Amino acid sequence: MRTGTYTDAGRKRRSGLDRLGAVLVVIAAAGLVFQPFSLVRPNRIVAAKPVALLSALPPLEAGLVLAVVIAACAVLLFRTGPALRLGVSVLTLAVLAMAIGRAGVYLTPTANSYARVAPGGAFWMMAFAFSIVLADASARLRLTPLSRLGLLALIAGAVGLLLYSGAWDSLSILREYANRADVFWREARVHLLLAVGSLAAAALVGIPLGILCFRVRPLRAALLNSLNILQTIPSMALFGLLIAPLAWVGAHVPGASAIGIAGIGVAPAFVALFAYSLLPMVSNTVAGLESVPPQARDAARGMGMTARQRFFEVDMPLAFPVVLTGIRIVLVQNLGLAVLAGLIGGGGFGTFVFQGISQTATDLVLLGALPTVALAFAAAIVLDALVEIANPTPARSPEA
């Protein structure tokens, strides 16, 4: 009798409403009902005209897209298996991606090079909702690190195929890219130089400092407190504070200006990103070394290992996953903060963001913002996977 009661209760729980799914369905439905699927401008600077989904595509295609979205929402609304939810979210995102490209073709007048078609609020809200479903389903499935990397590669390949095929060429953001392709790739190189270069410099300085803090405890509190204070300085304020001293260095130190050190440009952006990177690197190195079990050190000592051997063959390999977590934090942080370099002439994707803001050109803002988000997202997934591969039972980190 009790067994039957528990079974019925379990079936009821499994067949009930899914709370997260219900919230995401409301978001997707609100976008579909109250927001345009596309925005059409006669040219780059005039106000946009909103176009609903049923008017943004040929009738048959619009009906198919609407049917897919409704069916997907029905799946999300109830408690279903994570594999089904993952498949539904991937399919719906693919349909939305193809639909917005088709809307660009359908809504652009023939032989008109001035008209602009951009995704509207409905597209972004539905894409957001189903992206959350995809992430949630992946977490529930407990995918292995290699499976997550494979899924990331599949998504990147699909986006690359859409770009290569020209399916999105009629969209305004691709029109902006076509006009600035050379500049885009130059700024992409600068953005990666700022983010990855400052990470490498912080690792070269921060990891030895973390080792020193671990061994010299009186130094630890003073150094970590100083880095904490540095971390509280707003990024724009730090960029401004660096302008005067770096301008002096560029003007008075022989050879400094020749390698690009000046009051504005790449140098202050690089130094600021390096400064922000030190706290996660130092604290995670200390935390990683502290997480090494004393028994492992005692066993190494009992085997006759020297202090140097214990450090490089026991301490650092066991601390590596936590140190790698610090690298992950710094890389994702720096990819985002590097956008601000555009305000002080440092280049990077921020150049497009701030140009777009000054010109009230949303597509130009997106040309800088979307690659930044994509890079940070991919970096987080790749490094999270590497952390898991390095340590199947990850240690907790204060900065993670």
Which stretches within 116-234 are classed as H helix?
A: 121-141, 145-165, 172-179, 181-215, 217-232
Could you tell me which of 148, 135, 140, 96 has the C-alpha nearest to residue 119? 96
Phi, psi angle pair for 116, to nearest 5°: -130, 130
State the Cα–Cα distance between residues 193 and 197, nearest whole angstrom: 5
> How do the pLDDT tens digits run along the chain, 400 residues long?
455 554 554 454 555 888 889 999 999 999 999 999 999 988 777 778 999 999 999 999 999 999 999 999 999 999 889 999 999 999 999 999 999 999 999 998 877 777 889 999 999 999 999 999 999 998 898 888 899 899 899 999 999 999 999 889 889 899 889 888 999 999 999 999 999 999 999 999 999 999 999 888 888 888 888 888 888 888 777 777 777 677 766 665 666 666 566 667 788 888 889 988 999 999 999 999 998 888 888 888 888 888 888 888 888 888 999 999 999 999 999 999 999 888 887 889 999 999 888 887 888 899 999 999 999 999 999 999 999 888 765 444 444 4
Residue 83 pLDDT: 92
The 10 Å CB-count burial string (b at 16+, else e) for 266-300 is bbbbbbbbbbbbbbbbbbbbbbbbeebeeeebeeb
Q: What is the pTM of this model?
A: 0.84
Tell me the chain's radius of gyration from C-alpha atoms. Answer: 26
CATH 1.10.3720.10 boundaries in the chain: 181-390
Residue 396 pLDDT: 47
Could you tell me which of 118, 96, 122, 128 has the C-alpha nearest to residue 34? 122
State the Cα–Cα distance between residues 48 and 105, nearest whole angstrom: 17
Homologous superfamily assigned to 181-390: MetI-like (1.10.3720.10)
Residue 263 pLDDT: 62
Contact 322, 315 (CB under 8 A): no
Residue 216 pLDDT: 87
State the Cα–Cα distance between residues 55 and 211, nearest whole angstrom: 62
Could you tell me which of 288, 289, 272, 294 has the C-alpha nearest to residue 346? 272
